[in-house]
Amino acid sequence: MTGDVLELIGAVLLAVVCGALLCLFYVWARQRLISANKPMMLCALHEPGSPWRLGFARMGPTTLDWYAAVGVRLKPNRHWSRAGLVVGLPTDVSEPAGSPDQVIITLEGAGEPADLALARGDYFAMRSWVESPPPGYNVNFA
């Protein structure tokens, strides 16, 4: 009887460990698929009427996409066009993500404005990305 119980406990523990490893693999694979070799940054998003949510912002050639850090979706939760995106001035804060060198900016584009909390260096990268034209856009060579 005790041998059967030990085998059952071992099978349950094995199933739990395998499930945890599969979850970790999915989180890793999801982040790799979302990044698609484009610049990504850890940030928090605040939309009117909702709490701060931790996630990733990805800068593509023509869009800025925001993905929730925890979830199963491979499509962005929020999407802004590069051409119509307006990035507000940074405000120094220590909340919500708790990074010591963090700023909050307001993003305005199609749809409602949203606040984004990100590291100061990531803000400068995003500002440069917004202000420079996408590759091949309005380029004239003399």
State pLDDT tens for residues 2-41.
Answer: 778 888 899 999 999 999 999 889 888 888 888 888 888 9
Same domain, 44 and 77: yes
Q: Is residue 107 part of a domain?
A: yes
Cα–Cα distance for residue pair 52/31, rounded to 1 Å: 20
Same domain, 87 and 42: yes
CA atoms within 13 A on the CB side of 103: 17
Same domain, 77 and 118: yes
Q: Is residue 136 part of a domain?
A: no
Q: Is residue 3 part of a domain?
A: yes
State pLDDT tens for residues 118-140.
Answer: 999 999 999 988 888 766 665 55
Tally of structural domains, the chain: 2
Domain that holds residue 1: 1-35
State pLDDT tens for residues 72-99.
Answer: 888 999 999 888 888 999 988 766 655 6
Same domain, 117 and 69: yes
Q: Is residue 100 part of a domain?
A: yes
Q: Is residue 142 part of a domain?
A: no
CA atoms within 13 A on the CB side of 32: 6
CATH of the domain at 119: 2.30.29.30
The model's pTM: 0.78
Note if the bond before 135 is cis, omega within 30 degrees.
Answer: no
Cα–Cα distance list, 86 to 73, 113, 119 (Å): 26, 10, 18
Same domain, 28 and 87: no
CA atoms within 13 A on the CB side of 137: 9
- The pLDDT-based confidence of 106 (bands split at 50, 70, 90) is very high
Residue 68: φ, ψ to 5°: -65, 145
18, containing H or E segment: helix 2-35
